[in-house]
Each structure stands twice: as structure tokens, then as C-alpha cells.
């Protein structure tokens, strides 16, 4: 009985060792694939991240698309959103495009990114008719999808922080948009290291999403950028 028990224990330890090696191999393969996809998303779009001066020399841009970000409880923009707006307003002021499209989360009455974004643009002197709001830009993918289908954009300048632009431009390209990005990194941002780590996962997610191409949460009737942004007002 003792020999049998010892043999059983040895077999169990051997099986557990094989299982551990297999699990480690799977983790390594998955991590390598995730890093490879992350690198692909970044390298395939980095040439489309341009300076504001380069953007000003481009022709036939339909709109400057400013991607939403957090809004504080008092309705003021977070630092990242404030800088995106500053860059987007500057590009409009340099005649990069005739319209600005503010795309963000307005999923409830109590939270309205795009309302804050449009109000700041108007306070900066931009006519309300030139500022469109996408109230259902709940994700980077949905912002790009709706820019194409709802607002009928074809050639755009996307404004966000540089770490985010790689993914935004990748999705835009896969959806058939002729998109370029201008970074809005105007200051250091707290928590950026953790944000960079999460972005690796987000790039992997949107790599798959750009293949599957699901419909956005909301679609609705088209609101062409050739019209008035006041059609998008609350």
C-alpha cells in the first residue's frame, strides 16, 4: 500500500508539473500575441499623427473630431479634456476644417461631456452652427463609426492625447475614414502609467472590434456636417 501511495503521489506531482508548464506556455503565448497586436496598432498609424502646422496645410478636411473625456461633477472638463478642446479650437481657428465634431458620452441627464465641450467652443468664439455634438460617442470605436455614418465624414483630423491617437486612427482607417491625428499632450497627466497599461488591452480589444465591426449603441438619422451643428443641440 505504501509503494502504491508513493507512486500515486509521484504521478500527481508529475501531472501538476506538466499542467504548470502548459499554463505558463499559454500565458506567454497570449502575452506575446497581445504585445504584437499592440505594436501593430501603433506602428501602422504613427505616420498619421501630425503636427498642428502640418494639419493646417491639409485640404478638404471635413471636420476636427475632438474625442470626449471625463467631465467633473461641476460640469468643468478634466485636464485631458480641456487640452483636447484647446487643441481642437486652435485647429478650427487656423482653418483646418470648417466644422468641429464633439464626440463623447451623454448617456444620462446627469452626465454630458458633449454639452460641456460645445459650451467651451462657443465661449471661445466659434459659431454654434459650426459645432456638432455626437451625444452617443460612448467609445472610440463608436465615435469613429458615427462620424462616418451619422455625420457623413470622410476626411478628418482627430484630436486626443498621443497614447490614444494610435487606437483611434487604427479604428478610423479600418472603417474607411481618411483620418489624421493631432496630439493634445499639453501637460503631464496624473495616472498616465496605469493609463498606458490599460491602453495595451484597449488596443487589443479594438483590433478585434475593427474586424467584427458591430453596430454602435445608437445609430439614428444622418446629420451631415454640411448642415448646421445646431441640429445636434439638446
Q: Check which CATH number belongs to the domain holding 152 and give it.
A: 3.40.50.620
Please tell me the distance from the alpha carbon of residue 214 to that of residue 105, in angstroms, as a whole number. Answer: 18
Residue with cell 501630425: 50
Cα 130 from chain centre: 23
Residue 32 lies in a domain: no
Burial (CB count within 10 angstroms: exposed 0-12, middle 13-18, buried 19+), residue 157? buried
pLDDT by residue for the chain (234 residues), tens digit each?
455 566 566 666 777 676 667 788 778 888 899 999 999 999 999 999 999 999 999 999 999 999 999 999 999 999 999 999 999 999 999 999 999 999 999 988 889 999 999 999 999 999 999 999 999 999 999 999 999 999 999 999 999 999 999 999 999 999 999 999 999 999 999 999 999 999 999 999 999 999 999 999 999 899 999 999 999 998
Residue 177 lies in a domain: yes
Other beta carbons less than 10 A from residue 49's beta carbon: 18
User: What range defines the domain where residue 145 resides?
Assistant: 44-232
User: What's the length of the chain?
Assistant: 234
Residue 14 lies in a domain: no
Residue 23 lies in a domain: no
Tally: H helices and E strands in the chain: 7, 6
Count of structural domains within the chain: 1
State the pTM of this model: 0.90
Beta bridge partners of 49: 181
Other beta carbons less than 10 A from residue 207's beta carbon: 18
User: Are the C-beta atoms of 135 and 103 separated by less than 8 Å?
Assistant: no
Q: Where are the beta strands (DSSP E) in the chain?
A: 49-50, 63-67, 100-103, 131-134, 155-160, 178-183
Q: Quick one: cell of 97?
A: 476644417
Residue 202 lies in a domain: yes
Plot region of 213 (φ>0 → left; ψ -120 to 50 → alpha; else → beta): left
Amino acid at each position: 500500500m505504501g509503494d502504491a501511495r508513493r507512486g500515486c503521489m509521484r504521478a500527481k506531482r508529475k501531472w501538476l508539473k506538466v499542467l504548470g508548464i502548459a499554463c505558463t506556455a499559454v500565458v506567454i503565448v497570449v502575452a506575446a500575441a497581445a504585445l504584437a497586436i499592440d505594436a501593430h496598432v501603433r506602428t501602422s498609424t504613427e505616420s498619421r499623427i501630425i503636427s498642428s502646422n502640418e494639419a493646417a496645410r491639409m485640404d478638404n478636411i471635413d471636420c476636427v473630431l475632438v474625442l470626449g473625456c471625463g467631465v467633473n461633477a461641476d460640469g468643468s472638463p478634466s485636464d485631458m479634456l480641456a487640452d483636447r478642446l484647446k487643441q481642437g479650437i486652435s485647429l478650427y481657428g487656423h482653418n483646418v476644417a470648417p466644422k468641429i465634431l464633439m464626440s463623447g458620452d451623454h448617456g444620462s441627464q446627469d452626465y454630458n461631456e458633449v454639452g460641456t465641450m460645445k459650451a467651451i467652443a462657443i465661449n471661445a468664439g466659434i459659431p454654434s452652427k459650426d459645432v456638432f455634438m455626437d451625444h452617443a460617442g460612448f467609445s472610440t470605436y463608436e465615435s469613429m463609426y458615427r462620424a462616418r455614418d451619422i455625420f457623413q465624414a470622410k476626411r478628418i483630423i482627430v484630436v486626443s492625447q498621443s497614447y490614444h491617437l494610435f487606437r483611434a486612427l487604427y479604428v478610423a482607417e479600418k472603417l474607411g475614414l481618411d483620418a489624421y491625428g493631432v496630439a493634445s499632450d499639453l501637460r503631464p497627466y496624473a495616472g498616465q502609467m496605469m493609463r498606458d497599461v490599460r491602453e495595451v488591452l484597449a488596443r487589443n480589444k479594438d483590433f478585434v472590434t475593427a474586424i467584427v465591426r458591430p453596430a454602435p449603441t445608437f445609430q439614428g438619422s444622418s446629420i451631415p456636417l454640411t448642415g448646421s451643428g445646431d441640429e445636434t443641440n439638446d
